[in-house]
Amino acid sequence: MPNPHLAALRQPQTLQLLKGIRRGIEKESLRVTPDGALAQTPHSEALGSALSHDSITTDFAEALLEFITPPEATPEGALAILDRIHRYTYSQIGDERLWVNSMPCRIGADADIPVARYGSSHSGTMKTVYRLGLGLRYGRAMQTIAGIHYNFSLSNDFWAWLHEHEGSSESLRDFKTRRYFDLIRNFRRHYWLLIYLFGAAPAVCGSFVEGREHSLESFDDNGRTLYAPYATSLRMGDLGYNSDAQQSLIVCYNDLPSYLSTLCAAISRPYAPYHAQGVKDAQGHYQQLSTGLLQIENEFYSPIRPKNPAEMGETALSALDNRGVEYIEVRCLDLNPYAPLGIDARQMRFLDSFLLHCLLEKSPKTDDADYRAVQENQNRIVYRGRDPELQLIHNGGELKLTDWAGRLLDEMAPIAELLDSAWSGDDYSRAIDAQRAKVSGEAPTPAAQILAEMRKNKQSFFQWAADKAEQHRRYFLERPLDDSEQREFAGQAEESLRKQRAVEDADTGSFEDFLGKYYAQYIFCQR
């Protein structure tokens, strides 16, 4: 049955609303030494303050850089900003490289992985203690895994049109929030497709899983590289951002109140194993923020999040409760090692079409069984996604991956055509066609391509990835910024350091008081 929204969007007066899509990129990259070991150097002051800089910060490990672009009108606009950030960064990090794969290598023991530091302010201390807690709970190796986060939103003009088109009596804010949750539920049903098409982490270095249980096989005779023959993205499996503790957590995405209450409960209630470890260590130093199943909402490793920018000192859940959903953040994407920026315009256009499809298609409410089916499909796609006979759970039964993928691409094609009409081109349709070729076997997925090149060149995962890192390093260093751009970035770095000092100078009271006030915000979930 044709989607009724598509016919309405084809009208000239509404078609241009699709040009109001905004997308931003958050790209993580691990700093490594020339021999591929994890960099032990602190975040460079020349890059600015990791606490206060708008576009250059760090994530979990001190060496895990994160580059952030603002919302942009076109994929090319976001990529141009990301490119300049890379070029400036390479001008400041000496002979270090940015590892181009999501899975790291040569990371050593936990003690050799410094967590990120954000200065002496209460807010900076909280960010560091949170990361110490992640290391305590899951091990620090996980904090060296990198990925791409894709932020997606539609304009208020689009939402006003859809609000009227659907005849909603809700406030525009409540309507947007409800429909973003519709998008999220459909995304969760179908994001296995993104892992299949763009997963680029089929192998790891043996050092990454040393001392850990795993089901991987040796890729080479000496066992330096481990892999799963049909793997897509080991980052999205039990070796990455997936934990046994969180397997007990079922988060409801049927509406905002249900989402807030389930996450708030996981934050507010002590979890016995973490309670036994204590908030502070034997010397009285903070080793985690709390003993809840989640220290804060960000610890819940969801492939997608509803977002509204939080103000200083505000929790992410409070921001949603106070102002509703403003955009969504896609979190299941590996770095593409074949793209110097980790992502390219064709993939971004596919994501736009995919997310718009998730919004415009019907999105039934879900239950606990649906939640578990999503988890099972993720597990299957991570380890066996490239098995041509793989079946996924679908509507209570099973459906062959290639058949389901073909259906989804067929449903996305008219949306891509609409976007092409809005932009007077064919780039969106070509992005869909490029993914059809992967499903049909005419073109390899990134995971398949990586393994094929490793076999052909008789390389370990480390050797292959190190070569790519050096290629990308040359790509950026051979295109230095001009003097005015260099000065602009240097000025941003200096300004961010001033902001950090101002935050530190403005602190009052103890860290314990600060933390108590922060956690007091979660009381709204109990009403």
352-362 pLDDT tens trace: 999 999 999 99
pLDDT digits 0-9 by tens, 169-205: 999 999 999 999 999 999 999 999 999 999 999 999 9
Picking from 33-47, 99-113, 153-167, which range would have the lowest pLDDT averaged per residue? Answer: 99-113
pLDDT for 240? 79
Say which amino acid occupies 374. V
User: Residue 527 pLDDT > 60, yes or no?
Assistant: no
Is a pLDDT exceeding 60 seen at residue 35? yes
d(CA 450, CA 480): 29
Tokens of 100: 């181009």
Res 442: pLDDT = 97
Domain regions of the chain by residue span = 19-526
Q: What local confidence, expressed as pLDDT, does residue 108 receive?
A: 82
The overall pTM is greater than 0.85: yes
Q: Residue 275's pLDDT is what?
A: 95
* Euclidean distance between CA atoms 190 and 197, whole angstroms: 12
Looking at per-residue pLDDT, the higher value among 137 and 1 belongs to 137
Please state at what angle helix 172-190 crosses helix 345-360, rounded to 10 degrees: 110
Residue with tokens 């079922």: 250
- Tens of pLDDT along 460-469? 999 999 999 9
Give the pLDDT mean for 106-134: 94
pLDDT, mean over the chain: 95
Q: How far is it, in rounded angstroms, from Cα 351 to Cα 195? A: 12
Q: What is the pLDDT of residue 289?
A: 97
Rounded Cα distance between 88 and 84, Å, is 6
Output the pLDDT for position 322. 94
**Tokens 């130093």 sit at which residue?**
285
**In this structure, which topology does domain 19-526 adopt according to CATH?**
Creatine Kinase; Chain A, domain 2 (3.30.590)
**Interatomic CA distance for residues 520 and 218, integer angstroms:** 49
Question: What per-residue confidence (pLDDT) applies to 241?
Answer: 67
> How many percent of the chain have pLDDT more than 90?
89
**Residue 116 and residue 137: Cα distance in Å, rounded?**
16
Q: Show contacts of 286-291: CB within 8 Å, 24+ apart.
A: 286/125, 286/129, 286/132, 286/511, 287/129, 287/132, 287/133, 287/136, 288/129, 288/130, 288/132, 288/133, 288/136, 288/137, 289/126, 289/129, 289/130, 289/133, 289/515, 290/133, 290/519
